Each structure stands twice: as structure tokens, then as C-alpha cells.
Amino acid sequence: MGSGEMMRPDIPREVVDLLYLCGKALRCEPAEPERVCAMDLACVHRLASSQSLSALAWYGLEPVASQAGLDEALAGTWRNERDQAVRRQMLFDAERTQVLAWLEQQGIWYVPLKGAVLAGWYPRLGMRELSDNDILFDPSRREDVASFFVGRGYRRNAENHGSTHDDTYTKRPIYNYEMHLCLFSDYDSPSFARYYEGIEGRLLPEDGSPYGRRLSSEDFLLFQVAHAHKHFQLGGTGVRVLCDLSVLLSRSGADLDWDYVHEELEKLGVASFGLSLERLVSRVFEEDFDPSLLSDEDAGTLRELTSYGTFGTVSHQTELTLDRRAERGESIGGYVLGRIVPDDDWWSVSFPYAHDHRWARIPMLLYRYVRALAQPERRARIAEELGVILRKARGER
């Protein structure tokens, strides 16, 4: 973007610069030194880190880093983040191969989801930063899967033990599996949960795999949009979703049944959001991307995507929730009470045993309270949430 072109005041320059570097990387092209010299690279790097796009941006920047006069310390940090992303993907791929082989041996159908699939579609190793492995599997084999992970040295997350949505397993140094019983929870995404009921009947066989399954290209795209919308509504999701969709469309966009995609977006209730993402993907990675030409709707979507990091923030999630409650005439006090003593719907999804056996709720709540006080990260999240509650209670924006 040339210095004489218009900027929208609500789209910071570092957003445009980051998207430029990502676009160059996705096309396996080096950035232009003159363009990079005009960037505030420290600011671009901070944004890239918050969006889990450091590795991808570095791939676009690296060929011209020395010509652009990039600070050596920043270059070292940025390069190390790319190297860590490469290492992480290699370790994830090797471990997932073992996990999927075991599922095959046990005759358990499975579907790798999200980053576990997308990372392999990016042009170079490590471009798509990974935090976990998401796998949908036969829920009737839940305890077999649990025994396998525990026997392999993983820790089963007590917080979602008994959840009707997924089980999380972690193992040092970096391994993290979300084993999904369904694609969406009825608690936080009831309309999506209904849409995806019986999804196993729509799965396609994976070539060369007796028990591997996959979504069709159209359904994979729809799931990506629905998943992004869920986080977008709950607390924010990052601009990485545009990179993912760009890679997906480059791979299969020409062969997609777009009539089906648009019809299903309507059924999901995310047509406006999906079309906005589609328009943004077609524009933001171009060398001459000019944010002043975006519609207000698309600029608003881009601004939201780049404002709250990859996974959203506690404060934004709290603010969105309180705003929606206020629209329904519900009080802040009711929200606070519900956070302290969750309702039956929360118990039914998160801890079905305690939903059916009310005596178990008190020890589980005490466990949650003690854990919240004992862990600094959780204390910080509570403080952030309380800050928004107090601000809203005083009538501040």
C-alpha cells in the first residue's frame, strides 16, 4: 500500500502491513524491501504474535529482512518463533500419526479437524501455528480413547470430564488433544449443535483408511465459518481465520458447490458473516489492498478479527455477554449469580453426573473456587471479568 493511498482510521496501519506479509508468504513471494522499510516492524510483530501469525509473517519478511534494516534482536525473536512453529508441527504430526494408527487398529472412526488438517495445506512447514489437535471420533468408544491417552502419559482435564462435548488430554512438553464427541456444544452453540446432529451420516471415507473419515470440501468450509462465528460471538477470533480460508479456497475453491455453501450458510444463520469473510479473503492479501475501499460491514468484521487476538479476550467475552443480557432485560446481578452458581443447563453439558446427582455439585464448585484462587492465570481472568462487570454496573462503556 503506497504512502499516498487512503487509510481507514478504524483499521490500523500495522493490520494492513501484517496482511501484506501474510499474503506474500501464502504466495511464496518475498516482500518488497521498500514496502517493508516503511513498516513499524515492532508493532507488526506484536500484532502477529497476538494473532498466532508470527511464523507466517516471518516467511514473507525473511528474504528481505536484512535489506529492510530489521533490528537484530527482533529478527532473532521472530525467526525463533518460526522455528518453534516448525518444530511444533513436526512433533504434532508425528504424535498424531501414532494416535490415528491406534484408532485404526481399534476400529474407531475419526475425523481430524481444523488446524490438524489445515496445517498440511499451507505452502511451507510451520506456516500455520498449532496449539492443539482436534479430532471428532465415535463417542461410543469414549472410555477406550480415555484409557489410551492416559496410558500414553496424557493427563485428562478434570474440568471437562463428563462433558457432552469433548475431552481434553495434555502431555508435556506441548501435546494437546481435544477429542470431540460432537462438533458443537448445545450449551454455547445450540443452533449449530442442532445443525450438526447426526454428522457421522454425512462423513466421507478417507482414501486409504478403513476408519478415517472427512468432511466434504463444502462441509469443511462451512464448519470453519461456523466455528469462527462461534468464537466471534463469544469473545473474539483472530484474523488467522482469513489465512485458513485463503488456503482452503486456493486448494478447492474452484470445485466447490457454491450454491450449496450459500444455502447452508443461511441454514446455519451465518450467511452475512460468511459472505463478509469471503469478500475479505478475496481482498486483504493483495499487494494493493486499500482498506478505505471496504464496506462498513467488512471493515467492522476485519476490525473485530484483529482486535482481540487468536482466541478472544475475557473482557470482550464478558462485555458481549452482558450486552446481550441487557438487550433481553436481564440484570448484571443475575449474570454474577450464574457465574458463582451455574444453572442446570451448564451442569448438564459440563458435568452430567453432577447434573443428575445434585450432592456432587458442592464439591465440584469448591474445587473450581480453590483452583481459581490457586492459579495466577485464573485469578487474572477473574480480575479482568470483574473489571468489566464493575464498569458496566457504573454505566461506563
Which helix (H) or strand (E) segment holds residue 337: the answer is helix 332-340
- Is the model more confident about 388 or about 257? 257
Contact (Cβ atoms closer than 8 angstroms) between residue 243 and residue 232: no
The pTM of this model reads 0.87
* 3, pLDDT greater than 70: no
* 152, pLDDT greater than 90: yes
* 82, pLDDT greater than 50: yes
Handedness of CA 370, 133, 244, 18 (dihedral sign): positive
For the ranges 7-16, 41-50, 201-210, 341-350, which has the lowest average pLDDT?
341-350
Q: What is the pLDDT of residues 320-349, one digit of tens each?
A: 778 777 878 888 888 888 888 888 877 776
Contact (Cβ atoms closer than 8 angstroms) between residue 41 and residue 73: no
Place of cell 458463582: 340
Determine the average pLDDT of the residues in 58-74.
92
Query: Can you list the domains of the chain with their CATH numbers?
Result: 91-215 (3.30.460.40), 315-393 (no CATH)
Name the pLDDT band for 306 (thresholds 50, 70, 90): very high
* 237, pLDDT greater than 60: yes
Q: What is the amino acid identity at position 110?
A: Y
* 1, pLDDT greater than 60: no
* 317, pLDDT greater than 50: yes
**CA atoms of 166 and 133, how far apart (whole Å):** 12
Determine the average pLDDT of the residues in 115-143.
96
* 4, pLDDT greater than 50: no
**Nearest to residue 313, comparing CAs of 261, 366, 235, 245?**
235
Q: What is the pLDDT of residues 279-290, one digit of tens each?
A: 999 999 999 999
* 388, pLDDT greater than 60: yes
Determine the average pLDDT of the residues in 155-181.
84
Q: Determine the pLDDT at residue 103.
A: 98
**CA atoms of 201 and 162, how far apart (whole Å):** 24
For the ranges 160-169, 208-217, 363-372, which has the lowest average pLDDT?
160-169
Contact (Cβ atoms closer than 8 angstroms) between residue 170 and residue 191: no
Q: Which residues of 104-120 are buried (b: 16+ CB within 10 A; e: fewer)?
A: eeeebbbbbbbbbbbbe
Name the pLDDT band for 27 (thresholds 50, 70, 90): very high
**CA atoms of 111 and 331, how far apart (whole Å):** 41
For the ranges 85-94, 223-232, 365-374, which has the lowest average pLDDT?
365-374
- Is the model more confident about 396 or about 58? 58
Determine the average pLDDT of the residues in 10-36.
95
CA distances from 290 to 15, 23, 163, 275, 283 (A): 11, 14, 45, 19, 8
Name the pLDDT band for 100 (thresholds 50, 70, 90): very high
